[in-house]
Chains A and B, each alone.
Chain A
């Protein structure tokens, strides 16, 4: 008996040691753990002990703690799904619509962001922010200032505070009059950072605003280049060579900037792959 147990122990130890040695050479999957799965809504509710509001909190926490530095397109799809679920479970959740507005549309999840913001706007009639961010997404991502302004004007009468109503109507008028202006995006992100509580998310928003400022600088320089030479830039280095900017700005996220097919500077939303 004792001999059998000793053999069992030795075999177990050998198996464990061999497996450990083999696994040490295998890298972990390079995806963000928090954003691998989105469970069905009723499973999320069951996992929260039947409490839909706790389930909404849990989904929002997952979105908040996920590190965007290592996220790929698939992870943002999951985050969009998760935040849409949170908005369904508790449409009034302020953090959820706020994080959704700050992240999702910027990484290709415009539809999910608009769902979250529409739900928040309907369930928070006293709050002008979901309506503003919803309209801003139409303005900035769909490049449709007139429709964005109309949406703001529709939302404004629902806001109880007279000051907030005037402010939204003022923004709507400016969008109608001036059309699309890239610097507006910087102002929106800066205002989001200004009202956030001190902490990681506030810092994240401030860095985002800095990136956008750099982008606006590059886009304005790109326009000047087009006016001066009658053609678009092919790379950001063209702007430096034409002495329109001193140097290509450094992206604090490390993703960098690029030039699209139209010759317009754009933000990269994922870390560029290392050159072989």
Chain B
């Protein structure tokens, strides 16, 4: 089956993308995995609140720190489940045929799904973010920590960083979904990509700073890691939590280029996804 008008690859018809976007939105909200992972996110915020009790000096900071980890973790999982349910399983169950039987470009299906998932992620992030914000306010009880967390603009900027991070992971998972015949693959590879991308920065720093004197480790792995950065984006650059946690204003130039890197990488992944999906033979 190969009936899509591929000539429309670069001609964007927004009303069609919007239809797929709304369809994604409704299907995403109805999916059980959304409800399960959303509950997981709320549980992680609860864990963040409890983590604050471990801190003798900065309970709010620790709650915020662990809470931001929980937010990213649950959001990445949510997006991967959505990609799995709304793209991979549609291909596996062949329900995608009903959609593709309409005279619409296949690219619009992918774009609609992508932006729909990002919108769902934004709403989930906003809800969980507001909840974490309240939890951080009450964390620590009566104890007044000496250096307060910044829950204004720095906090929302840190959340925006998580959203951009998730947008990159989703684009990658979407590309995997278009070429995979197994629905679990986008979830598994997407999770590995999210962990790998996030680890890249600290591991690169570790090697670049001499790996605690282990010269063999540096000479063996640093060149490889430099090469990997061209394939795997350094997602730790989108982590701006030091700003709300310790009032350390991030370098605006580095922030700007990190967002450019993320947008560029996501666009590249979307291009590959659309290209693969448009040429894919469904039998």
Contacts and interface: CB of A to CB of B under 8 A. Distances in A.
Contact of B73 (A49, A53, A123): A49
Interface in A145-193: none
Contacts, number: 97
A46 interface: yes
A188 B231 CA distance: 51
Contacts of A126: 147, 247
A89 B59 CA distance: 19
Contacts of B143: 197-198
B147 A50 contact: no
B161 interface: no
Contacts of B22: none
A94 B58 contact: yes
B66 interface: yes
B7 interface: no
Interface residues of A, number: 34
B9 interface: no
B195 to A, nearest CB: 4
Contacts of A55: 202
A123 B145 CA distance: 18
A94 B147 contact: yes
Given A57-B66, A92-B245, A94-B147, A50 B55 contact: no
A45 B247 contact: no
Contact of B246 (A49, A65, A124): A124
A227 interface: no
A109 interface: no
A50 B194 contact: yes
Interface string A5-44: 0000000000000000000000000000000000001100
Interface in B115-169: 140, 143, 145-147
B69 A42 contact: no
- Residue of B51, B59, B69 with most chain A CB atoms under a 10 A cut-off: B69
B35 interface: no
A109 to B, nearest CB: 16
Given A94-B58, A202-B56, A42 B194 contact: no
A92 B242 contact: yes
A119 interface: no
A-B interface, 6 closest residue pairs, ranked by CB to CB distance from nearest: A50-B198, A50-B199, A201-B56, A52-B202, A197-B143, A50-B195
A52 B236 contact: yes
B202 A42 contact: yes
A201 B72 CA distance: 31
